[in-house]
Amino acid sequence: MSNIRLNKTRGSYALIVATFLPLFVLGVSVTAASPQEYSLPIPEGVLPPLIPNDNPVTQAKVELGQKLYFDPRLSVDDTVSCATCHAPDKGFSDGLKTSKGVGGKTGERDDSPLREGGD
């Protein structure tokens, strides 16, 4: 039963990251030229994000993505946010060989640095 709960939790976490990470990543580097236009500085070697014409990046979306990315309430016990393991100041990684998660438990693998919107 705990294995089922763990798999469900991992799946939920992955869905949250995949959904909101692109908004956060854009928010870290977005410079607003006007309410409708953004200049997205893209680091060398990184593919530009695909932004649909019918769903443009807005300041409100960027702010929501940032709030969710740093919100520990999305974890099982309200203690770990996406940024806990995927720290923006550490290249969206935590720099550890194996990540520590909920309850300070050491994981079985390292965190993957988040690149190109959460791959």
pLDDT at 8 over 80: no
Residue 106 pairs in a beta bridge with 100
Residue ranges of the domains in the chain?
2-104
| Contact partners, residue 108, CB within 8 Å, separation at least 6 | 98
Please tell me the distance from the alpha carbon of residue 95 to that of residue 69, in angstroms, as a whole number. 18
- pLDDT per residue over 13-70, tens digit each? 666 666 666 666 666 544 444 455 555 667 677 777 788 888 888 878 888 888 999 9
69 within 8 A of 21, measured Cβ to Cβ: yes
pLDDT at 110 over 70: no
80 within 8 A of 72, measured Cβ to Cβ: yes
